[in-house]
Amino acid sequence: MISLHPIRTAPLRTVAAALLLLVGSCATTPATPPMAATDLASVQTPADLYGDLFAAVQTRRIFPDGKTFVDAVAKRPVPEIMRDWRAAGAMDDAALRAFVLANFDVPETGSAPAPANGGKSARMAEHIRRLWPVLTRPPLDPVAGSSALALPRAYIVPGGRFREMYYWDSYFTMLGLKADGEDALVESMIDDFVSLVERHGHVPNGTRTYYLSRSQPPFLYAMMALSPANDAGVKARRLAALRREWAYWTTPQRTAVMPDGARLQHYWDARATPRDESYREDVETARASGRPVAEVYRDLRAGAESGWDYSSRWLADGRTLATIDTTQIVPADLNSLLFGLEQAIARGCADAGDSGCSRDFSMRAAARQAAIERWLWDEAGDRYGDYDLRQKRLRAGVTAATLYPLFAGLASPAHGARVAVTTERLLLAPDGLRTTTVDTGQQWDKPNGWAPLQWIAVEGLARYGRDDLARAVARRFVATAEREYRASGKLLEKYDVEESRAGGGGEYPTQDGFGWTNGVVRALQQRYPAR
């Protein structure tokens, strides 16, 4: 088991030495075992395979949801399909749709199916328990013509349009699985993620070829902390996966050198093209930007990797998607999670008897902690924020990401207390935790509240002695989910926590199902039982 409990990091007077360790070559052990990652140039996504056919289907919106075609499965070899497409000549929309339906098995759209005997008549906790098997999928060996990635063991999907396993979603889903005694499924999903790292060098955004060029917030170490596994072989394999993931996140492309020489990380994507699943939207955003389109595409992709797709956090003008510059932002949440990852590796190496590795990663964690406190803390604003590399200052605005340093346990006690006050004053809404304090129409902004951020807040606030505020966030959010469930019989991807209704904004309608909401609600119910 890899615990989330923090190790004792080096005192701050050793930070200068730790920073030298990060930039130098004096580490006593390699940062990660030498393993080859997936050659992304060799991975063909639907956009690569179908070229002008793909562009026509997506830009002409033959299907309302851009994710439909990229999840379709070809009925015959790609060269045959493309030969007939080019031979057919110009097609109107009806003919193009007919061509696609004749040559591809297209997934059905719509809501997650209701469980047997579920719906509004069942208690919400019981409804969630009945949903686990509905959202569970068996091991996957993709058929020819599919964009899916293989998974050796059973897994949970979020629901709705999200038909595959997602990275950071799954941690919050696992919290609910643990609460409901579904430990075997937790172990199964951890094994799937380890398999993905072994095959591809990282955990992709989701288990599709078109997600392979990026990841999502690195919660794998936190997933492993939910596991009681003590088998030496299993622990060694999982530790190797964490070390390999750390190497992925700390490549030069993802690394920012701060003014004092400290190194922190930012989001990135190996491709600079429109996202397959949002092709039309990305092309339109890039066209409206007046900027080099490759730059815009990479920033859109990096924003998708952040999980906050999209938010005022990533917008240079704070409001307009065309100004997105995610790759120029050093975020508090990502670096807090990497601190947790480094601590987990240090503990795992110590358990394995590798004192050099343990010392190395302990120092790396201490250096990151000092850099976050130095560069991502806003003394005047009582918050952690995101550093703008171009402007050389923190971006304005309070967001729920300010709570990640508390979740990870890296904030000083004084800073943790001040973040709690800021949270209560600006982010606590009548029905849960706001994501930001500005309403831009983007889904990761006010008035939306998201299940994962409720859990991060609850864990972080309780860790820093504010269980009263943690309890308030938890009870308000669970009550919101309960009200919506009583009204519609559904649990939703996101909620409007100011008006106690379904959330909105973004590129697609609010989805139901829903993996991480189910997980966080059950975990919060277990943590704070109703009186």
Q: Report the distance separating Cα 401 and Cα 519, nearest Å.
A: 20
Whether the pLDDT of residue 479 is over 50: the answer is yes
Cβ-count burial of 341 within 10 angstroms (0-12 exposed, 13-18 middle, 19+ buried)? Answer: buried
486 CB contacts (<8 Å, ≥6 apart)?
120
- Residue with more model confidence, 348 or 120: 348
- Alpha-carbon distances of 155 from 139, 148, 269, 494, rounded to whole Å: 7, 13, 25, 22
Contacts of the segment 113-116: beta carbons below 8 A, 24+ positions apart: 114/489
Query: Which one of 309, 360, 386, 445 is the catalytic residue?
Result: 309
Is residue 480 within 8 A of residue 490, CB to CB? The reply is: no
Cβ-count burial of 34 within 10 angstroms (0-12 exposed, 13-18 middle, 19+ buried)? Answer: exposed
Q: Report the distance separating Cα 42 and Cα 528, nearest Å.
A: 49
- The pair phi, psi for residue 227, each rounded to 5°, is -100, 135
The predicted model gives 181-186 an average pLDDT of: 98
Instruction: Check residue 531 and give its pLDDT.
Output: 61
- Residue with more model confidence, 29 or 375: 375
Residue in this structure with the two tokens 């390999």, named with its chain if needed: 244
Instruction: Check residue 24 and give its pLDDT.
Output: 36
Q: Which of 55-59, 464-468, 492-496, 501-505 has the lowest mean pLDDT?
A: 501-505
Determine if the peptide bond prior to 447 is cis (ω within 30°).
yes
Beta strands in 365-469 (DSSP E): 377-378, 383-384, 387-388, 393-394, 428-429, 432-433, 448-450
Instruction: Check residue 530 and give its pLDDT.
Output: 80
Q: Which residues pair with 206 in a beta bridge?
A: 166
Q: 25: pLDDT confidence band, cut at 50, 70 and 90?
A: very low
In this structure, are strands 432-433 and 428-429 parallel, antiparallel, or unpaired?
A: antiparallel
Whether the pLDDT of residue 410 is over 60: the answer is yes
Closest C-alpha among 251, 265, 403 to residue 328? 265
Is residue 366 within 8 A of residue 8, CB to CB? The reply is: no
Instruction: Check residue 39 and give its pLDDT.
Output: 65
Per-residue pLDDT tens over the stretch 304-332: 999 999 999 999 999 999 999 999 999 99
Q: Report the distance separating Cα 406 and Cα 132, nearest Å.
A: 30
Please confirm, yes or no, whether 309 is among the known catalytic residues. Answer: yes
CATH 1.50.10.10 residue ranges in the chain? 31-249
What does the DSSP 8-state code read for residue 427?
Answer: I
**Crossing angle of the two packed helices 167-179 and 451-463, in degrees rounded to 10:** 70
Instruction: Check residue 4 and give its pLDDT.
Output: 59
Please confirm, yes or no, whether 317 is among the known catalytic residues. Answer: no
Whether the pLDDT of residue 369 is over 50: the answer is yes
| Terminal-to-terminal C-alpha distance of the chain | 33
Beta strands in 219-315 (DSSP E): 255-257, 263-265
Instruction: Check residue 509 and give its pLDDT.
Output: 75
Contacts of the segment 23-26: beta carbons below 8 A, 24+ positions apart: 23/261, 23/263
Cβ-count burial of 108 within 10 angstroms (0-12 exposed, 13-18 middle, 19+ buried)? Answer: exposed
Instruction: Check residue 126 and give its pLDDT.
Output: 95
Structure tokens belonging to residue 531: 């009186």
Instruction: Check residue 512 and give its pLDDT.
Output: 83
Average pLDDT, the chain: 92
Instruction: Check residue 511 and give its pLDDT.
Output: 79
The predicted model gives 1-15 an average pLDDT of: 45
Instruction: Check residue 111 and give its pLDDT.
Output: 55
Whether the pLDDT of residue 507 is over 50: the answer is yes
- Residue with more model confidence, 510 or 523: 523
Q: Report the distance separating Cα 8 and Cα 344, nearest Å.
A: 12
Chain centroid to CA 437: 21
Per-residue pLDDT tens over the stretch 421-472: 999 999 999 999 999 999 999 999 999 999 999 999 999 999 999 999 999 9
Per-residue pLDDT tens over the stretch 203-217: 999 999 999 999 999
The predicted model gives 162-182 an average pLDDT of: 97
Q: 108: pLDDT confidence band, cut at 50, 70 and 90?
A: confident
Instruction: Check residue 27 and give its pLDDT.
Output: 35
156 CB contacts (<8 Å, ≥6 apart)?
132, 135, 136, 137, 165, 170, 173, 177, 185, 189, 515
Q: Express as a percent the part of the chain with pLDDT over 90.
A: 86
Q: Which residues pair with 105 in a beta bridge?
A: 73
Query: Which one of 282, 493, 507, 512 is the catalytic residue?
Result: 493
- The vertex-21 CA angle with 347 and 14, nearest 5°, equals 80
Whether the pLDDT of residue 356 is over 50: the answer is yes
Structure tokens belonging to residue 166: 């997602």
The predicted model gives 126-145 an average pLDDT of: 96
Per-residue pLDDT tens over the stretch 278-287: 999 999 999 9
What does the DSSP 8-state code read for residue 328?
Answer: G
Instruction: Check residue 35 and give its pLDDT.
Output: 41
Instruction: Check residue 19 and give its pLDDT.
Output: 42
Whether the pLDDT of residue 274 is over 80: the answer is yes
Instruction: Check residue 375 and give its pLDDT.
Output: 98
Q: Report the distance separating Cα 248 and Cα 237, nearest Å.
A: 17
Q: 297: pLDDT confidence band, cut at 50, 70 and 90?
A: very high
Q: Which of 70-74, 90-94, 109-113, 370-374 has the lowest mean pLDDT?
A: 109-113
Q: How many CA atoms lie within 13 Å of 4's alpha carbon, on the beta-carbon side?
A: 18
The predicted model gives 292-304 an average pLDDT of: 98
In this structure, are strands 155-156 and 393-394 parallel, antiparallel, or unpaired?
A: unpaired
- The architecture (CATH level 2) of 31-249 comes to Alpha/alpha barrel (1.50)
Instruction: Check residue 392 and give its pLDDT.
Output: 98
Instruction: Check residue 510 and give its pLDDT.
Output: 80
The predicted model gives 288-313 an average pLDDT of: 98
